[in-house]
Chain A
């Protein structure tokens, strides 16, 4: 069947081609279309019946002539050839090299859809990754094998934050030898892609990066393949070659929009905001490929970046993402406007796996309590700030004034840091105690009395 070309296209419309008189084609198999001008497009069988087949064409159906289109069924799903040589290479969204170097030749070609990991084979992520960013390390710690998205908005510095994480991420007490990056961009601008490329170059990790780029002006439907190809490469690097892989994907919103576009063409029933009902499962197929496996050395840590449409965290894309990922780092326009970098809004940010990766045997014994205390004190201080805006700062009690000062210092000194500033977790925790010492001991009920005696620098 691979070698037979069919010229029986019965209809072509909105990205879908119906092939008549073709029998016994495997569902989900890959398709090559050659049009009258000799251009080759690729597609996927989405519906297979005894006498006709529906093909989804990734490059779209523009300028397709039913009589002069030759279709070849490859009889297998999309596969990505993998070998050690993919490190340092740049591919397009469906895994073809675009860096002008020869294609990857390998007998090992993997289905980009992967297979679901058996839940009993997973190993729980417990190793603390130090990113050098206080707002993350101190309060929303990342662990190896976690999936922690950055929720952002147009104009916010999510790319710079992601690049800083890539530059600085390390495991305590371990050299960076086994560490590689898989970077996937879909719907990203050329400027964004170049920013990352240059940032990897500057930090000298370019030969440890695999890039999959589907840029804003490239075929939309190809975006559905891009994260899957990237994760297939990541799985190979992590679980065959024992690397610790950090996967950065941007921008998940562009992916979800591509999915919606295809769903509409297929005639799927829309759920919220026109997105198909299976958006959740589809996103989960991507995100859940992060993790660790028992008895394997490597790991996949996933940092998807997504821009929240109109900064709305309840929009289906961030909402469903939040239900799948293990927390989220939320960037805020207000902090950014005040010149705070990274503008991490700590209250809605969260790392679910933090509790198991910090504390006595991982970072420092007071870390969980300090984090909890910072959250509580800052939340309370924000209430006071709201109150002060109404009744004026003069009317505040002494305790409230302390809280206000704490909130300001927390934002200026703890959250705010340089783009090249790499703080160790001890520096972060000591800084936290400097700030907590601005508050009286009685106001700090989340830390133990012993910790207060050991670390609190105030007198009260």
Chain B
């Protein structure tokens, strides 16, 4: 037993001999929890996860003997936990609407009973290795929670409970380890959050993560097991885009970490997710979702931990063979928490007050994403999507610039687009994806062989229009040739009819890959047909006035992904719309560019 020597904000100096760096400590009469971050002789420096107001020097402190760990077992899904995995719903029942000091509630319910079904292959006397599946609990209608052997255990299975109901703490089996010790097995185990969970080997990522968002899937794809960043100034729609990804992506498990962000955003998820249907399973989206929340008014030290809690939970579901998406909103707040603590420790700041190890910490965190072969021989993945909140929208600041070097997919949000209410405000020039070729294989196989060419054509048109717009801004639209004016109009059509997507519109909020491609191909078809006409001598002005262009902009919201036939019917009528003009100009056969004047 030790005691408190000094209190300085969230940092507490303790007299606590023989503690280990990273060990959890319980401090003071209030029983606040924290972790040891430094030692000198018999004194230890600890950072506490809660507000230290009211703590006094001289009060007791004790080491708990383990590092910050999470409980992994049934009861996680559909829940909301704080930055150190305390269950917020259970805490509300315990201490009311506000988070009181020093409340200790176990992460997983100790009373709830789960129906455990053992794996037939696990018979007494067989070898058992870490990561092996002991059996399963049907946690929700759509998710079968596989009960895993803790990774560090290897030995002979002595017994395993038959099918039946158990609480998480009941012993469901026993193993004799190599050194003869007997280890008990439970429905859950603990894992330290700062240690990546082991796997057999890393795998190639093969399939894109389908988010149902056209600008992401079609233009800047992210693979399952990949790393992506969403940087953007405030008001550019970061949170909205992340909510959309969390709602509609085709992962089996979604972990949403609200790190230093608004409380109402988590409320929004908690209230809206149960009512939304998973487009892949037809079940409530909340069944596959888990929230970790350290909102901006909750203590900063737990903010630093929340990201690691989230990624460890993600790895645990990956180890069960699932494709997991973890959304971290926002990694900038995590970095700021790091900065705050390092500042209190008196460490030498480098850029904008951040500690020198910011880049390496970020890189190590993102490396926990990936598609792997699990210890049990399954395949699972963790896809990591981190929001970045650059101060003043300046992408050259340290967190954004480090992140940009780490991720493969970069969805840059633009203030200009957001101001013009072009949502999602993903900037098609600033963004990038290093996975287009891998994604192209999947699209060619599952949707259409021409995907990559169509994507390139659309991007080419967008880039060209950017050039043309510059000319227009200098000397006016009259300076452009008819071809150029039509290219400009086609790019506008792609922006409004394809890239813009309304999250609040039921038909438009999610677009299946098939719908995405159909729209893309149709808009390019309009562009091509128009260009043919222009080359026959039709003035761009007449094409721009075609009612088809306004109609095509509404297609996305008139036909949901389940009404592909309706969309196809409209697309099939495109050639007809060009028919009158074609008749007019094909007969005159003027050479290209010679007929600006109306006939």
The answer to whether A49 touches B297 (Cβ under 8 A) is no
Q: Would you give the 0/1 interface string for B316-355, flagging 1 where the beta carbon is closer than 8 Å to chain A?
A: 0000000000000000010010011001000001001100
Q: Is the CB of A50 within 8 A of B297?
A: no
Given contacts A271-B353, A445-B550, contact A122 B263 (CB under 8 A): yes
User: How many whole Å from A226's CB to the nearest CB in chain B?
Assistant: 18
Interface assignment of B403: CB less than 8 Å from any CB of chain A: no
The chain A residue with its CB closest to the CB of B496 is: A445
Alpha-carbon gap, A441 to B98, bound state (A): 52
- Residue of B whose beta carbon sits closest to that of A375: B421
Interface centre among A113, A327, A350, A441 (most CB of B within 10 A): A350
Find out whether the CB atom of B234 lies under 8 angstroms from the CB atom of A124: no
Query: Does B580 belong to the interface (CB within 8 Å)?
Result: no
Please, which residue of chain A has its CB at the minimum distance from the CB of B268? A124
User: CB distance A118 to B88 under 8 Å?
Assistant: yes
Q: Is A372 close to B, CB under 8 A?
A: yes
The answer, yes or no, to whether B56 is at the interface (CB within 8 Å) is yes
Say which residue of B8, B54, B92, B473 sits within 8 Å of A47 (CB atoms). B8
- Find out whether the CB atom of A291 lies under 8 angstroms from the CB atom of B263: yes
B419 at the interface (CB under 8 A from A): yes
* Contacting pair B353 A277 (CB below 8 A): yes
Q: Are A119 and B293 in touch, CB under 8 angstroms? A: yes
Establish whether residues A278 and B53, one from each chain, have CB atoms under 8 Å apart when the complex forms.
no
Task: Write out the residue numbers on chain A whose beta carbons fall within 8 Å of the beta carbon of B80.
Answer: 119-120
> Does A48 interact with chain B (Cβ within 8 Å)?
yes
Contacts of A168 on B, CB cut-off 8 Å?
none
- Does A347 touch B at the CB level, under 8 Å? yes
- A116 lies within 8 A of B262 (CB): no
Contact flag A270-B353 (CB < 8 Å), given A48-B7, A49-B6, A350-B235:
yes
Query: Is B99 in contact with A77, judged by CB distance below 8 angstroms?
Result: no
Q: Which of B6, B13, B296, B472 has the most CB of A within 10 A?
A: B296
Residues of A within 8 A of B8 (CB): 46-47
Q: How many angstroms from the CA of A375 to the CA of B97 in the assembled complex?
A: 39
Query: What's the dominant secondary structure at chain A's contact region?
Result: mixed
Q: Which residue of A lies closest to B349 (CB)?
A: A269
**Chain A residues within 8 Å of B178, by CB:** none
Among A46, A269, A316, the one with the most B-chain Cβ atoms within 10 Å of its Cβ is A269
Measured in the bound complex, the distance between the Cα atoms of B343 and A113 in whole Å is 23
Q: Residue-by-residue, is B1-13 near A (CB-CB < 8 Å gives 1, otherwise 0)? A: 0000111110001
User: Which residues, 239 to 260 on B, are CB-close (under 8 Å) to A?
Assistant: 239, 258, 260
Q: Is the CB of A314 within 8 A of B268?
A: no
CB within 8 A of B92: which of A28, A49, A118, A278? A118
Checking A26, A116, A397 against B297 with a beta-carbon cut-off of 8 angstroms, the contacting residue is A116
How many chain A residues sit at the interface, stated as a range, is: 35 or more
Residues of the A chain whose Cβ atoms lie less than 8 Å from the Cβ of B97: 117-118, 121, 239, 293-294, 296
Do A119 and B476 contact each other (CB < 8 Å), given the known contacts A50-B57, A113-B53, A314-B393? no
Interface status of A201 (Cβ within 8 A of chain B) = no
Known: A50-B6, A120-B80. A348 touches B235 (CB 8 A): yes
| Separation of A285 and B260 alpha carbons in the complex (Å) | 11
Q: Could you tell me if A387 and B391 are in contact, using CB atoms closer than 8 angstroms?
A: no
Residues of B within 8 A of A125 (CB): 264
Contact across chains for B550 and A442 when beta carbons are under 8 A apart:
yes
Nearest CB of chain A from residue B427's CB, rounded to whole Å: 16
B: contact size bracket: 35 or more
Interface status of B583 (Cβ within 8 A of chain A): no
| The stretch of A82-90, A153-161, A244-252, A318-326 that contacts the partner chain | A318-326
Contact: A445 with B554, CB < 8 Å? yes
Q: Which residue of B lies closest to A294 (CB)?
A: B97
Q: What residue of chain B has the Cβ atom nearest to residue A314's Cβ?
A: B392
Pick the contact of B476 from A316, A375, A391 — CB < 8 Å? A391
Select one of B92, B295, B333, B421 contacting A379, CB under 8 A: B421
- Enumerate chain A residues within 8 angstroms of B300, measured Cβ to Cβ: 278, 281
Query: Which of A271, A314, A387 is in CB contact (< 8 Å) with B339?
Result: A271
**A395 cross-chain contacts in B, Cβ below 8 A:** 476, 478
- B420 contacts A24, C-beta separation under 8 Å: no
B295 surroundings in chain A (CB, below 8 A): 116, 119, 284, 288
Which residues in B have their C-beta under 8 angstroms from that of A124? 264, 267-268, 271
**CB-CB under 8 A for A48 and B270, given A121-B97, A323-B234, A326-B262:** no
**Interface contact B54-A397, CB-CB below 8 Å:** no
Q: Which of A113, A145, A379 is the most central at the interface, judged by chain B CB atoms within 10 Å of its CB?
A: A379
Output the nearest chain A residue to B299 by Cβ-Cβ distance.
A116
How far apart sit A269 and B336, CA to CA, in the bound complex (Å)?
12
Residue A29, interface by CB 8 Å: yes
B474 within 8 A of A: yes
Q: Cα distance A46–B6 when bound, in Å?
A: 11
Contact A116 B54 (CB under 8 A): no
Within the complex, the shortest CB–CB distance from A281 to chain B, in Å, comes to 5
Q: Give the complex CA separation of A287 and B296 in angstroms.
A: 9
B54 close to A50 (CB less than 8 A)? no
B553 interface residue per 8 A CB criterion: yes
B569 close to chain A: CB less than 8 A: no
A268 within 8 A of B: yes
Q: Scan A118-136; emit 1 where CB is below 8 A from any B CB, else 0.
A: 1111111100000000000
Q: Inside 8 A of A322's CB, which chain B residues have their CB?
A: 233-235
CB distance from B72 to the nearest CB of A (A): 21
**A42 at interface (Cβ–Cβ under 8 A)?**
no
* B51, B391, B393, B475: residue with the most chain A Cβ atoms closer than 10 Å: B391
Please determine whether A272 and B477 come into contact, CB atoms closer than 8 angstroms. Answer: no
B565 lies within 8 A of chain A by Cβ? no
A65 contacts the other chain (CB 8 A): no
Known: A48-B57, A116-B99, A375-B421. A288 touches B262 (CB 8 A): yes
Q: Is the CB of A327 within 8 A of B475?
A: no
Bound-complex Cα distance A323 to B237 (A): 11
Q: Is B590 an interface residue (CB 8 A)?
A: no
- Does A196 have its Cβ within 8 Å of any Cβ on chain B? no
Q: Inside 8 A of B393's CB, which chain A residues have their CB?
A: 314
State which of A47, A294, A356, A391 has its C-beta within 8 Å of the C-beta of B6.
A47
What is the 8 Å Cβ interface bit string for chain A, positions 236-272, against chain B (1 contact, 0 not)? 0001000000000000000000000000000011111
Q: Which of B335-392 contact A (CB under 8 A)?
A: 336, 339-340, 343, 349, 352-353, 389, 391-392
**6 chain-A/chain-B pairs, Cβ below 8 angstroms:** A23-B57, A116-B295, A272-B353, A291-B263, A314-B394, A326-B264
12 new A-B contacts at CB < 8 Å, known A289-B297, A315-B392? A48-B56, A115-B100, A117-B97, A120-B89, A123-B267, A269-B343, A272-B352, A280-B336, A288-B296, A326-B262, A442-B550, A448-B554
Please name the 4 residue pairs, one residue from A and one from B, whose CB atoms are nearest each other, closest first: A314-B392, A28-B53, A284-B296, A322-B234
